[in-house]
Amino acid sequence: AQKVTQAQTEISVVEKEDVTLDCVYETRDTTYYLFWYKQPPSGELVFLIRRNSFDEQNEISGRYSWNFQKSTSSFNFTITASQVVDSAVYFCALISNFGNEKLTFGTGTRLTIIP
Amino acid sequence: GAVVSQHPSRVICKSGTSVKIECRSLDFQATTMFWYRQFPKQSLMLMATSNEGSKATYEQGVEKDKFLINHASLTLSTLTVTSAHPEDSSFYICSARVPPTGPSTIYFGEGSWLTVV
């Protein structure tokens, strides 16, 4: 069984503030992949990042950064200098059996950036 | 640009009618596609796995006869909601693995908003 927990249901921050979205996962497999997706109001799911379980290097892409900690089973996402366009629902997801290809999603975090 | 395309993006249908949603892989062949359903302010729930040339695999609790899935070609999967009712109103979204083999990333279509009146 696998599970993804996004404890933060909604977050609001003022523009230009930094914000971290938490993601905690559970899986018995040693090989797994973690994903983050952004879902703006229009509904489409925008792929942000994929990380495999053997790569614990943190990653930075512009204002986005991800902190993968296997010891705590967490894959947190930080947006620095937030902008109004960052307002969306963000989903963390997991595949623990890659041949299975079934994504397990967290419940999502609704992020609102206040101008 | 999009690698998985869905159509229509929005559809309104009357109760009792059927509606078809298409999911296409662009510039690649997808032997497997996935269909999800999302209720307002909720997470995505996997409905079924669409397999090219064979029957779809449905998740527990999903009515096979109501949600017909056809994966007739390597670039197209369709979801038909039969005898639609207002409770079927939802956001439906498909996904595919790109590339189809090896380490890859899962991309989603744009989604389809279905409203049954």
Quick: pLDDT tens for A1-14.
789 999 999 999 99
Q: What is the pLDDT of residues A49-102, one digit of tens each?
A: 989 898 888 889 999 999 999 999 999 999 999 999 999 999 999 987 655 678
What pLDDT band is residue B53 in, cutting at 50, 70 and 90?
confident
- Nearest residue of chain A to residue B113 (CA atoms): A43
**Sequence-ordered list of residues with C-beta below 8 angstroms from that of A84, at least 6 positions apart, any chain:** A15, A113, A115
Put simply, the answer to whether A44 touches B46 (Cβ < 8 Å) is no
Sign of the alpha-carbon dihedral angle for B59, B60, B61, B66: positive
A64 touches chain B (CB under 8 A): no
Grade residue B51 by pLDDT with cuts at 50, 70 and 90: confident
Q: Chain B: nearest CA to A10, how far in angstroms? A: 11
Query: Chain B residues with CB inside 8 Å of A50's CB?
Result: 105-106
Which amino acid is residue B23, in one-letter code?
A: C
Whether the CB of B46 is below 8 Å from some CB of chain A: the reply is yes
In chain A, residues with a C-beta closer than 8 Å to the C-beta of B8 are none
